[in-house]
Amino acid sequence: MVREITNKKIIAVIPVYKDFIGFERCIQELLKQTLSLKKIIAVNNSTQPLNEHIYNFIKNSIDVELEFKKTETNLGSAGGFSIGMKKAIDDGAEWIWLHDEDDHPEQDCLEKLLSNGEGYIRAPIIKDPETNRVLNYFKRNKGWLGYLYPAPKNAKTVDAAGTAGLLIHRNVIEAVGIYDPEFFVGFEDWDFCLRAEKKGFKVNVVHDAIVYHPDHQSLRNKFIKEKVLKYLPPLFGYIRKGNVRDNYSVRNIIILTKRHMPSYILFLSLIFSVLSLPVMKIMNRQVDIMFTLKAYFKTRCAE
């Protein structure tokens, strides 16, 4: 059990890119927490400054210390979190509470994470704010061939969790390190959780702590999620379809596979790509076969 701490040692970290409205909502809900924070670190990844309305709102209403860190260029979510996590550790945080710019916690979320949770990494339940549906795709167990699929709804520990609302003790960061900025965007949270698992830190789910986050990517077909994905290699579902984020998804899931899974899984994933990509190309012209195949040989393996 982690010993009891005071709220003076909890620091929240939020990278900001484009969703300033979502960021303002997140700040509002952080300020309403039944257990107050010591500090909020906002890392502005945007090439533009925060607009005057948001800046004035925060400065006029904040009851805890707020620090803005402006990056010289867009470092992606991974780079933003890595800067904020390092600063929080340097500032003496005992717990670091990570948030996406478009998520927002229930008012007692932090208190429940601390009082009802166990272990050094604690993940809240994540719900879609429009449907109130639980987004289990943020917490996945490894299948037979390495695919990270949704964990059972009643799972107490998981192999990996999404960033939104993830509460991490400084002992984990001192042992594992911060988010890897090389990921830029996508799977940096899974990589961190899997690195932590290797060091003996499990991700513990706190079922009565709630964070709301828009549902951007989950598969709605329960049969596919629970019966099919566990038998497929990890690249399944992360094929480039023409947008920039998909480029990073392909590259990053391959990095994740190289780092954390046996070599035979990487080989099976490569074979799967060779066989499936031509079919996917017929169905979707934006699928880039060579980009995906090259990523197997260009991405690094070592941490």
Q: Spell out the domains of the chain, with CATH numbers in brackets.
A: 7-212 (3.90.550.10), 233-298 (no CATH)
**Comparing 94-108, 213-227, 278-292, which segment has the lowest mean pLDDT?**
213-227
What is the pLDDT at residue 17?
87
Compute the average pLDDT of residues 6-12.
Answer: 80
Q: Which pLDDT band, with edges at 50, 70 and 90, does 129 fall under? A: very high
CA distances from 223 to 151, 153, 227, 233 (A): 14, 15, 5, 17
pLDDT in tens, 190-208: 999 999 999 999 999 999 9
Helix (H, G, I), strand (E, B) or coil at 223: helix
Residue 1: pLDDT above 50? no
Residue 148: pLDDT above 50? yes
pLDDT in tens, 158-170: 999 999 999 999 9
Q: Which pLDDT band, with edges at 50, 70 and 90, does 282 fall under? A: confident
Q: Which pLDDT band, with edges at 50, 70 and 90, does 105 fall under? A: very high
Return phi, psi of residue 61, to 5°: -120, -10
What is the pLDDT at residue 80?
95
What is the pLDDT at residue 218?
62
Are 65 and 36 within 8 A, CB to CB? no
Compute the average pLDDT of residues 22-35.
Answer: 91
What is the pLDDT at residue 224?
64
Residue 260: pLDDT above 50? yes
pLDDT: which is higher, 112 or 36: 112
Reduced DSSP (H G I as helix, E B as strand, rest coil) percent helix, strand, coil of the chain, to 5: 45, 20, 40
**Comparing 44-48, 59-63, 137-141, 252-256, which segment has the lowest mean pLDDT?**
59-63
pTM of the model: 0.89
Amino acid at 101: E
Residue 253: pLDDT above 70? yes
**Comparing 12-16, 62-66, 100-104, 128-132, which segment has the lowest mean pLDDT?**
62-66
Residue 257: pLDDT above 80? yes
Compute the average pLDDT of residues 129-158.
Answer: 86
Are 134 and 154 within 8 A, CB to CB? no
Are 81 and 163 within 8 A, CB to CB? yes
Compute the average pLDDT of residues 251-257.
Answer: 89
pLDDT in tens, 213-229: 998 766 555 666 667 77
